[in-house]
Amino acid sequence: MSQDMSVPMQPSKSRTSLRGLVPWVVFAAVLLLLPVVFQGNSTAFTLLNVIGINIVFALSYNMLLGQGGMLSFGHAVFFGLGSYAAMHAMIAIDDASYAGEGFWAHVPVVGMPVIGMIAGGLVALVLGWPFCRRAGTAFAMITLGLGEMVAAAGQMFPSLFGGEAGIYGNRMVGPQWFGLELAQSDDVYWFMAFWTFVAVFAMWAFTRTPLGRMSNAVRDNPDRLQFIGYPPRNIRFMIFIASGSFGGLAGGMAAVNYEIITPEALGLIPSGLALLMAAVGGLGVFYGPIMGAIVVTLMNSMLSDYTDASILYVGLVFLSIVMFAPRGLGGGIEQVRVAWREGDLARRLPGWLSGALAVGLIIVGMVVLVEMLFQATHGDDEFAQVLGMEFDAAALWGWLTAAVLVVLGAVIKRATNKLREDQA
Amino acid sequence: MLEIVIFSTLNGILYGLLLFMLSSGLTLIFSMMGVLNFAHASFYMLGAYFAYTLGMHTGFWPALILAPLLVGGLGALVERFGLRRVHANGHVAELLFTFGLAYVIDELVQMVWGTVAVAYREPEYMREPLFTLFGTDYSIFRGVVILISILMFVALWYLLKKTRVGLMIRAALTHGEMVGHLGHNVPRLFMGVFGFGCALAGLAGVIGGPIMATEPGMAATLGPIVFVVVVVGGMGSLQGAFYASLLIGLIQTFFVAIDASVADLVNAMGANLDPYGELGRISLATLAPMTPFILLVLILIFRPRGLMGELEP
């Protein structure tokens, strides 16, 4: 931003510059290299596939919250309905290819995310208009109600939603494209990699369109937008549809990955997950939600191997990010990058490093506390292990260690506050 | 038929009063600080669990006083050390904070009290029937709950309209900065109101816990409905929240009680819907959890400012 200020009359060169391509080449290279790294490790591929879905889901959510300033608690409606549409299409393909004729016999399963995208967009188109009158708290409450209502309706129409058991399909049907059999998770990976790349690129391209720019304007100053002659409600409605489409696309990816979908996928829990991922990664940076999706998915699936309180940790991470680093992981990286470019890094580093040390100490202290609390309420037969040390909830010294760690962190933070004060 | 009507009305009013106990605190907090406390229902849940644990040592009546005080204190701490920090980053950040808080409280409750319902019951002597009508008993406890809620509202009304603190709160609702300029400690007032609202939610938990079930999902079931109440009543209007609470309480209870299906209802109006079809077969009782949200959408389409709200949200 500061660059633009210093040379106001020069047009932006970013469109023609080759430097803009670098992140995309790196992204594609990473997607191509991952299968080589994890060859034969099917657990890793399963995890990678989920990460792919969540990246698209979190990014589509951030189109609303980060770029349009609309806090939604019902984004899973589009994800879930997109997923249901794709699943019904997969079932139709199965039936049609059994009969060997009809339209669906020629549709490949690889194209399911398109079905999900269309469904998500249509749902947003039908439902969205009354909701887009205001942003902020009202929008949040309305989308919460929408999510609850659709989730409840999901239980009521078993022929469409399959009741509590949900509906399931088979992804190994219909015509195969590119020789993708979609049998194992490493085969599905290529499907995921392709759609993740396409969707991420499309959503990035959306931010560069006039509508994408306008969505930032409606977030920052809707009154002024109204003065200029763009009704904010129309802009919000269009963002809502775009975001719903990409949410549906993620749902289509999920349908192919899991081959089952239940009405739970429409409710508040997956909607909250999208919010969690986007906020942890950072709402203000385009790649923030990508990082958030990777971190939260890894935390959700890997922490549960080590502790029974994994969901609590995810919640605590979210809470501390909202409190102490409102710009998220991506915002932090961006800050360091700007300081580096301005040659400011050496001056600011001591403040940041001491802050990181303080936060680290508090985190370890909290982990010890949570683990011991868990042990205290669930019997003493399992020891709370943190960093290889064993803590016993019955002994006082464990609680003392936790308290000392937290207090030490707080003291360091307070003592070094001065070092961080001058940064805006 | 008359029996169903009378008991549904009584139960609906009871449920509505509980809803108002939650939504009044939420409305006060919202109109003062501009933040909808997403964790409000979690404080309600904490109230029930605290009363359960305290009640095992002290009995029901002391727990009725102590548990809301504890919850209120906790709420005040959350405001002082959490919300106040986040306030600088705007309303969305505040909403995110309370959302994360609800998440963490739910997990902590599951960790401490387990994932299944606890056996939180009213005292033995209050399970006796207060009166018997058409062969159905109405327990003393339900009567006590209605009495406590009504006393509560009289106290709230007195506090807001007749005391000096109430005057300050009402002034701070509309002219927060001016109250600050006059030398009152507005941040401390905010902390007090937040704590008070949480204490009200805690009280609702103490008396609602034995009627609904005390289980980790209780916050997630009631939370969205309380938000609906606040929006339907009109954001920031206590009166509106009161009417909306009773309305939703009655509608939901009557939907549960009436033994009819969608087809019966539609066909009575002259339509011709297949009573065994997918839509016609749905009974009104299964529709009951959806009614608040249907009401919400209708209100937003036809009267976006809510029943008694002055401004559009």
Residue A72 in this model has a pLDDT that exceeds 70: yes
Residue A378 in this model has a pLDDT that exceeds 70: no
Q: Report the CATH number that the domain containing residue A50 is assigned in CATH.
A: 1.10.3470
CA atoms within 13 A on the CB side of A91: 13
Most confident of A264-273, B160-169, B302-311: A264-273
Domain contains A200: yes
Cα A386 versus chain centre, distance: 28
CB contact at 8 A, B78 and B101: yes
Residue-level pLDDT at A424: 42
Query: Which sequence spans correspond to the domains of chain B?
Result: 2-302
Domain contains A334: no
CB contact under 8 A, B289 and A156: no
Please give the ipTM for the structure prediction.
0.82
Residue-level pLDDT at B311: 60
Residues B224-237 have a mean pLDDT of 85
Residues A164-193 have a mean pLDDT of 79
Instruction: Kindly state whether residues A372 and A273 are assigned to the same domain.
Output: no
Of B85, B92, B111, the CB nearest to A71: B92
Q: How many residues in total does chain A contain?
A: 424
Domain contains A171: yes
Residue-level pLDDT at B28: 84
Residue-level pLDDT at A1: 38
The CATH label, of 1.10.3470, 1.10.287, 2.60.40, 1.20.1300, for the domain at B2-302 is: 1.10.3470
User: DSSP of B69-90, one letter per residue?
Assistant: HHHHHHHHHHIIIIIHHHGGG-
Residue B241 in this model has a pLDDT that exceeds 50: yes
Residue B167 sits at the chain A interface (C-beta within 8 Å): no
- Banded model confidence at residue A368, pLDDT cuts 50, 70, 90: confident
pLDDT in tens, B296-311: 888 877 877 777 776 6
Between B218 and A40, whose confidence is greater? B218
Instruction: Kindly state whether residues A236 and A359 are assigned to the same domain.
Output: no
Of B100, B286, B312, the CB nearest to A322: B100
Of A152, A319, A373, the CB nearest to B290: A152
What predicted TM-score, i.e. pTM, was given to this entire model?
0.85
A269, A290, A311: which is the final residue of a domain?
A: A290
Q: Where are the alpha helices (DSSP H) in A209-287?
A: 210-220, 222-228, 232-258, 268-281
Between B306 and A24, whose confidence is greater? A24
Residue A192 in this model has a pLDDT that exceeds 80: yes
Q: Which residues of A11-22 are buried (b: 16+ CB within 10 A; e: fewer)?
A: eeeeeeeeeeee
Residue A358: helix, strand or coil by DSSP?
Answer: helix
CB contact under 8 A, B91 and A319: no
Question: pLDDT above 70 covers what percent of chain A?
Answer: 90
A residues 271-330 closer than 8 Å to B (CB): 272, 275, 279, 309, 311-312, 315-316, 318-319, 322-323, 326
Residues A95-110 have a mean pLDDT of 78
Instruction: Kindly state whether residues A266 and A401 are assigned to the same domain.
Output: no
Residues B143-154 have a mean pLDDT of 86
Residue A14 in this model has a pLDDT that exceeds 60: no
Residues B74-90 have a mean pLDDT of 85
Q: How many other CB atoms are there within 10 angstroms of residue A249's CB atom? A: 34
Amino acid at A300: N
Instruction: Kindly state whether residues A116 and A252 are assigned to the same domain.
Output: yes
Residue B15 in this model has a pLDDT that exceeds 80: yes
Residue-range definition of the domain harbouring residue A240: 30-290
Instruction: Kindly state whether residues A386 and A277 are assigned to the same domain.
Output: no
Helical axes A268-281 vs A310-324, angle rounded to 10° = 50
CB contact under 8 A, A133 and B304: yes
| Minimum Cα–Cα distance from B38: chain A residue | A141
- Banded model confidence at residue A7, pLDDT cuts 50, 70, 90: very low
Between B248 and A388, whose confidence is greater? B248
Instruction: Kindly state whether residues A357 and A283 are assigned to the same domain.
Output: no
Domain contains A326: no
Residue-level pLDDT at A391: 63
Instruction: Kindly state whether residues A117 and A211 are assigned to the same domain.
Output: yes
Number of domains in chain A: 2
Instruction: Kindly state whether residues A226 and A355 are assigned to the same domain.
Output: no
Residue A4 in this model has a pLDDT that exceeds 60: no
Residues A87-102 have a mean pLDDT of 83
pLDDT in tens, A291-343: 999 998 988 888 777 776 778 888 888 888 888 888 888 888 888 888 888 87
| Minimum Cα–Cα distance from A374: chain B residue | B111
Nearest CA distance, A375 vs chain B (angstrom): 10
Residue A156 sits at the chain B interface (C-beta within 8 Å): yes
Residue-level pLDDT at B278: 67
Instruction: Kindly state whether residues A236 and A356 are assigned to the same domain.
Output: no
Instruction: Kindly state whether residues A247 and A112 are assigned to the same domain.
Output: yes
- Best A269, A307, A323 member to test B by mutation, with max B CBs in 10 Å, is A323
Partners of residue B100 in chain A, C-beta under 8 Å? 315, 318-319, 322
pLDDT in tens, B21-68: 888 888 888 877 777 888 899 999 999 898 888 888 887 788 888 888
- Banded model confidence at residue A3, pLDDT cuts 50, 70, 90: very low
